[in-house]
Amino acid sequence: MAAFEPLVALYAKATSEAESDARKSAATELAEAIKGQGVATIMSMALPAKVMASLGEAKNVAAREGAVFVVHELHKALGLHAEPYFMLVLPALVERYDDKVKGVAAAVDACLMAFFQAVNPYAAATLLPHLFTGMSTISWKTKVGCLKLLGALAHTAPTQVGQLLPEIVPKVTENMWDTKPEVKQAAKSSLGECCTVIHNPDVQPIVPVLISANANPKENVTALDRLMGTTFVSQVDRPTLAIIVPVLGRGLRDRDVQMKRKCCVFVDTISAEYGDLENPEIRLFFQIKIAGSAFAH
């Protein structure tokens, strides 16, 4: 343990110095020292546990900000090698979006955004539950922060986000109906970023209309009419369905019989065009078609 005493001392310095610049300097020095000794040092000196303890010190600004600096600088120094350890403290970092001290909240935002912009794309499915948890909290600042991170992830891992879009759209849509204007705007922006992974040329021109319909159910009629007027030439894939199906679902639940009939006609058209029952996405369309027929009668 004596071999790690200098590193522990550096961590203590990074979380106790009076000035923010001094804390950041100590964090940088600690990260470089860990890089020199090897990644295994992180667990040997129990750094994740120390970081989480510091982030939980409600009355100690230096400890909270210093811990964020340490994680950020470690990620800068080690890159992908720091990701498994970063994941251990991710929930605690997300909670600090709501820190009452602006400097700490800003440090958290910079740290997490840098991580999400450089993360291994194959980690997307592992990261989503943490973001969804943040989006469902009471804190509007945490919601906005997580929505911004999701938008960044769409550019870091477009292929993975495309496959996960059916899970993402409902969660983001819930935040579009939040009472806080900042959350509504962040949700709409985040969904717009996520929908950049949709590459179906037939649907791309009307994606903004579909997003707007998710934000405002009153626009569902307009969105459905645009879908009805779209000629589908390219294959309908999972990301495309993720933004279309919510519009159809609301249409089928509508009391207006004409609205239900339109949904059924649209599903019937697509099903006839791409009636490959081996395709799980198309099977979903058939399920909607059957449900719609039941509603219509």
- Is the pLDDT at 282 greater than 80? The verdict is no
Mean per-residue pLDDT, 221-244: 87
The whole-angstrom separation of Cα 67 and Cα 129 is 23
How much is the pLDDT for 233? 81
Distance CA 53, CA 174 (A): 32
pLDDT of residue 296: 47
Q: What is the pLDDT, as a whole number, of residue 120? A: 96
pLDDT of the residue at 132? 97
Q: Write down the residue that tokens 């609205």 correspond to.
A: 259
pLDDT at 287 over 80: no
Could you report the per-residue pLDDT of 61-87, keeping only the tens digit for each?
Answer: 999 999 999 999 999 999 999 999 999
pLDDT at 216 exceeding the cut of 90: no
- Placement of tokens 């991170």 in the chain: 149
Write the pLDDT tens digit of every residue in 241-261. Answer: 889 988 888 888 888 888 888
Q: Give 229: exposed, middle or buried? Use CB within 10 Å, 0-12, 13-18, 19+.
A: exposed
Average pLDDT over residues 42-55: 95
Q: Which residue has the tokens 């058939």?
A: 286
Give the start-to-end residue ranges of the domains of the chain: 1-118, 198-296
Tokens of 118: 């450089």
Please check the confidence at residue 167 and state whether its pLDDT lies above 50.
yes
Rg, C-alpha atoms of the chain: 23
Confidence class for position 291, pLDDT limits 50, 70, 90: low
What secondary structure, in 3-state letters, does the chain show?
CHHHHHHHHHHHHHCCCCCHHHHHHHHHHHHHHHHHHCCCHHHHCCHHHHHHHHHCCCCCHHHHHHHHHHHHHHHHHHHHHHHHHHHHHHHHHHHHHHCCCHHHHHHHHHHHHHHHHHCCHHHHHHHHHHHHHHHCCCCHHHHHHHHHHHHHHHHHCHHHHHHHHHHHHHHHHHHHCCCCHHHHHHHHHHHHHHHHHCCCCCCHHHHHHHHHHHHCHHHHHHHHHHHHCCCCCCCCCHHHHHHHHHHHHHHHHCCCHHHHHHHHHHHHHHHHHCCCCCCHHHHHHHHHHHHHHHHHC
Residue-wise pLDDT tens digits, 82-105: 999 999 999 999 999 999 999 999
Q: What percent of the chain has pLDDT over 70?
A: 90
CATH topology of domain 1-118: 1.25.40
pLDDT band, residue 284 (cuts 50/70/90):
low
Q: Can you give the pLDDT at residue 277?
A: 43
Q: What is the model's pLDDT at position 169? A: 93
Mean pLDDT calculated for residue range 33-41: 93
**Whole-angstrom distance, CA of residue 206 vs CA of residue 229:** 10
Residue-level pLDDT at 102: 95
